[in-house]
Structure 1
Amino acid sequence: MGDAIRADAAPAPVGRYPHARRAGGLLFLSGIGPRDPASDRVPGNTLDAAGRLVGHDIVAQTHAVFANVRAVLEASAACWEDLIDVTVYLTDMAGDFAAYNRVWAEYFPDVETAPCRTTLGIDALPTPIAIELKCVATLHPKEGR
């Protein structure tokens, strides 16, 4: 079935699944969100006095989710440049796409080497986050990897 990966530097999965799994020459990442690995808090979320979510900062969450993806890649002996396909889930496509797309361009400035990408607008995610990524990366047999 492939080797399961647990990344200590990434937030714990919210369900019973690994962070990633190696299969052949590919690495499949489970859905990765922007939660802070140390505190389990979601960066950029605004809560009211009762603790209910009333707003979010997609830029902060996009930077955080990219950091978490990078942590899983590194725990899997892969790197950022090994990403080949990314599915992005946004809970507010109309309000967040432009800002998220600007952050994406910071991390992937060259369209020729950027991974393929699909972005979907969805109603909700399992925790109060505004973005989640599902990624596939290649694994290259390299010295030290």
Structure 2
Amino acid sequence: MTIERLHTDARMSLVVKHQGTVYLSGEVANDFAGDVQQQTRETLQNIERLLDQAGTDKTRILSATLYLKDIDADFAGMNQVWDQWLPQGCAPARATVQAKLYDPAVLVEISIIAALPDA
């Protein structure tokens, strides 16, 4: 079975495609200066771009894992942006956890698994 990796360096790939499934690494915003809503919007834009490059889209997301720096402070704000972004009827399996992220300024990180369209 062929494994295709996109945006790969020595440590990781941003996208891995295998047997009709697309795996995205944890995505974050490009600008860490904003609040959780701004960071969530930017992260979701990055996810959409990567899904498009992989040949799929947000309607085909199977699973999402969301990591928040402070779940008590940021859960509602993140969810407000997530709910506006996600197409109706396309809710994936999802988990949201609080985590110590790699940079103190990062408020949200999102990892995605999606299906490719049927060939």
Using the size of structure 1 for normalisation, the TM-score is 0.74
Query: What count of residue pairs does the alignment treat as equivalent?
Result: 117
Instruction: Indicate how the Cα distance of structure 1 residues 76 and 43 shifts in structure 2: closer, same or farther if over 3 A, else same.
Output: farther
Q: Which has the larger radius of gyration?
A: 1
> How far is 1:82 from its partner?
1.5
Pick from 27, 39, 42 the counterpart of residue 32 of structure 1: 27
Match runs of 1:91-102 below 5 Å: 91-102=69-80
Pick from 92, 110, 119 the counterpart of residue 115 of structure 1: 92
CA contact (8 A) 2:60 2:90 kept: no
C-alpha RMSD of the superposition: 1.9
Instruction: Indicate how the Cα distance of structure 1 residues 21 and 42 shifts in structure 2: closer, same or farther if over 3 A, else same.
Output: same
> How far is 1:42 from its partner?
2.2
More helix by share: 2
> How far is 1:31 from its partner?
0.7
Distance 2:7 2:49 in 1: 10
Distance 2:108 2:90 in 1: 23
More strand by share: 2
Distance 2:39 2:77 in 1: 11
| CA deviation profile, 1:61-110 (whole Å, cap 9, x unmatched) | 01000001111111111112111110000001000001111111101252
Q: Which runs of 5+ in 2 are unaligned?
A: none
Query: Match of 2:84, SS?
Result: helix
Query: Match of 1:19, SS?
Result: strand
- Say if 2:11 is the partner of 1:16: yes
Distance 2:40 2:11 in 1: 24
- Say if 2:61 is the partner of 1:83: yes
Stretches of 4+ aligned residues off by more than 2 angstroms: none
Query: Match of 2:13, SS?
Result: coil
Of structures 1 and 2, the one scoring higher in RCO (CA 8 A, sep 6+) is 2
Q: Which runs of 5+ in 1 are unaligned?
A: 8-12, 36-40, 45-56
- Amino acid corresponding to residue 69 of structure 2 in structure 1: T
- Say if 2:32 is the partner of 1:42: yes
> How far is 1:120 from its partner?
0.4
| CA deviation profile, 1:24-64 (whole Å, cap 9, x unmatched) | 010011111111xxxxx3241xxxxxxxxxxxx00100100
